[in-house]
Amino acid sequence: MEIKVSNDVKNLSVDVIVINMFEGEKTSQDLANTYAIDRDKFEGKLGQTYLLQTYGQIPAQKILVTGCGKRDEFGENEVRTAVYKSVKKLQQMHAKTAAFDFETGFDYGKSAAIGAMLADYAFDKYKSEKATRVDEIIFGNVLEDSVNAGKSFGNAMKLTRDLANEPAAFATPSKLAEIAQNLEGITTEIYDKDEIERMGMGAFLAVSKGSIQPPKFIHMKYTGKNVKKKIAIIGKGLCFDSGGMDLKPPSSMLTMRDDMSGAACVLGVMSVLKDFNPDVEVHGIIAACENMASGSAYKPGDILTAKNGKTIEVDNTDAEGRLTLADALVYACELGVHEVIDIATLTGACMVALGTSVAGIMGNDDEMMHKIIETGKNLGEKFWQLPMYKEYFNSLKSDIADMKNTGSRYGGASAAGVFLQEFVKDVKWAHIDIAGTAFLEKPESEFIKGATGAGVRTILSYILNS
C-alpha cells in the first residue's frame, strides 16, 4: 500500500472518499448528511462505518463515513482506530484507491499512517492467495512530515512482526545477524561462539549449546549528530524456545518461534532511526540463539558463570531468556550508556497476570518507567508496573551458587525481574515483559493473529523524545 498526502482530496477521482463523523455532529459532505444522518440515523460511534454511492455527484464513486465517537474524546488513539477500521472496510469492499478527508481539528497524519499500515499488515508470504489490499491511500488536511513519521513507525512494526511471524527455520540467529548487518545508518558488530566464550558470557552460551544453530551476539549502533544521551536497548532473541531439557508441552511450544519478539522489536526500532536522525546514541543488543533439547544441551543442575562473574544454578532450562539477558545486560552496562531498556517474551506468569493487551514493566528508576508508560499511552501501548521487592529473590537462593534461575511458581514475572537486576550496574534500567502482548493466538483490537510488534511504537518514540 502506498500512502500519500494531498491538499485537495475533495476532488480526487478515487474509488472511495473517506470522511469522518463525530457523534451528534454533521459531516463535511451534504450528501452524507442527507443519507447517513437524516435518513439512516448513523450514530458515528468510534469505528462504525457507513457507505453510500455518489452516482456522479462528486468525482469519487463512493463515500465511506467513519464514526469517530465524541469530539472531546477524540485523540491520537481514536484517529488510529478510525483509520484502521476504515481501511479494513475498504479492503472488504475491494477498493483500490481511497482519499481521507477527515476534519479533526489537529494534524492527524502520524496516527493515521500508523493505523493504515496496521490495517494493511498481513503475513501472507507463504500463501498462494494473497490478502486483499488497498493500493493507494491519500490523506488530506495533514502535514507530510507527520505522515512520513507515521510511515516509519509502520515500517518498523512491519519488520518486527514479519520477523516474529517467520518460522524458526527462517529467522535463525544467523539470519537476525545478517539483517542487523544490513540496516541503513547503523554499524553492526557480530560476535560468534568463540568470542562469546572469550567475553565470558557463560549463561548465554549455555542456553545455545543444545542447538546446531550457532549463537550470535549482535551489537548494533546508531550515532546521532549531537549526542545528548546514550541508550541501550536489548531484545530477548530466542529464535526458538523448546524449553530445552525441561521441555515444554506441545501446546506451549507451538508459538515459541515468537520468543525473539524482543529482538525483532530492537531490529524494527534500529531500522528506522535513520528516518529521524535523533541526537542520541542508541545501542541495539541481541543475544540470539535457540533453546533446544539434545545431547549437547545444558542441563538442570548445571552451574553457569555470567559475564559479571556471578554464578547461576540451572533450576529449569526453560527459564533461558533471563540467562541470555543476564550476559547482554552486563555487556550493555559496560558501554557507559545512561539508560538500558530490555524487552523480552520472558514469563508466562506476566501473561497470566496482565493478559494479552498490557505489558509488564519493572526497573530501578521510577521516573524512567513512568516516562515509558506515558509514552505508550498515545500510541496504543499499555504497560503496568510490577513489583521488584527483595522478597522475590528469596526463592532464587541457591545452596551451591549465587542464585538459581527459577524459584517459586508464584510471582514469576517479578522473580524474573529481580533475577535480571543482579546483572545491572550503575545505570538506569527498565525491563519490559511482552510475553502476553507480542503474539496473539486470535485477532484482537488492531491486530490480526500472530505477531503484534509489541514495544516498537513506545521504544521508538521514547528514543525520539530523549
The Cα 435–Cα 359 span in angstroms is 8
Selected range binding Mg ion among 316-324, 355-363, 423-431, 455-463, rule: CB under 5 A: 316-324
- From the list 229, 248, 371, 428, the catalytic residue is 248
Closest distance of CB 113 from ligand BES, Å: 29
Rule CB under 6 A: choose which of 166, 281, 318, 342 binds ligand BES. Answer: 318
What whole-number distance in Å separates Cα of residue 454 and Cα of residue 161? 9
**For Mg ion, which is the closer residue by CB, 431 or 457?**
431
- Would you state the torsion angle of the CA atoms of residues 75, 77, 79, 81, taken in this order, to the nearest 10 degrees? -150
Question: How near is the Cβ of 435 to Mg ion at its closest, in Å?
Answer: 10
Q: Output 56 or 250, the one with its CB closest to Zn ion.
A: 250
Which of 234, 240, 232 has its CA nearest to residue 215? 240
Q: Which helix (H) or strand (E) holds 118?
A: helix 109-120
Closest of 100, 105, 74 to residue 89, by C-alpha: 100
Instruction: Examine residue 321 and tell whether it contacts ligand BES (CB under 6 A).
Output: yes
DSSP 152-209: HHHHHHHHHHHHHHS-TTTS-HHHHHHHHHT-TT-EEEEE-HHHHHHTT-HHHHHHHT
- Give how many residues touch ligand BES by CB under 6 A: 16
* Cell numbers that stand for 180 in this block: 542487523
State which residue, 120 or 318, has the beta carbon closest to Mg ion.
318
Q: How far is the CB of 243 from Mg ion (least distance, A)?
A: 6
Q: Is 422 in the site for Zn ion (CB under 5 A)?
A: no
Which of 319, 332, 388, 396 binds ligand BES (CB under 6 A)? It is: 319
Residue whose Cβ sits closest to ligand BES: 348
CA dist list (Å): 3 to 16, 97, 127, 155, 390: 15, 10, 25, 12, 50
Q: For the window 225-244, what string marks contact with Mg ion as x by the rule CB under 5 A?
A: ----------------x---
- Residue 225: partners with Cβ closer than 8 Å, 6 or more residues away: 277, 279
User: Within 10 A of 155 (CB to CB), how many other CB atoms are there?
Assistant: 17
Nearer to ligand BES, 67 or 321 (CB): 321
Q: Are 20 and 66 in contact (CB under 8 A)?
A: yes
Cell numbers 508441552 correspond to 249
Residue type, 33: N
CB–CB of 97/15 below 8 Å? Answer: yes
Residue 348 contact, options ligand BES, Zn ion, Mg ion, none, Cβ 5-8 Å cut-off depending on partner type = ligand BES
Catalytic hit among 236, 322, 404, 457 = 322
Q: Return d(Cα 458, Cα 454) in angstroms, integer.
A: 9
**Nearest distance, CB of residue 138 and Zn ion, angstroms:** 43
Does residue 7 sit in helix, strand or coil? coil
* Region near ligand BES per CB under 6 A, out of 23-31, 197-205, 314-322, 395-403: 314-322
341 binds ligand BES (CB under 6 A): no
Clarify whether 322 is annotated catalytic.
yes
Instruction: Find how far residue 430's CA is from the centre of its chain.
Output: 16
Q: What is d(CA 355, CA 353) in angstroms, rounded to the nearest whole number? A: 6
Asked whether position 395 contacts ligand BES by CB under 6 A, the answer is no
Q: Does 9 bind ligand BES (CB under 6 A)?
A: no
Q: Would you count residue 351 as binding ligand BES (CB under 6 A)?
A: yes
248-277 binders of ligand BES (CB under 6 A) = 259
The stretch among 132-140, 205-213, 303-311, 341-349 that binds ligand BES (CB under 6 A) is 341-349
- Catalytically active residues are 248, 322
Using CB under 6 A as the criterion, which residues of the chain lie in contact with ligand BES when the complex forms?
Answer: 241, 259, 316, 318-321, 345-349, 351, 406, 412, 435
The residues binding Zn ion (CB under 5 A) are 238, 241, 259, 321
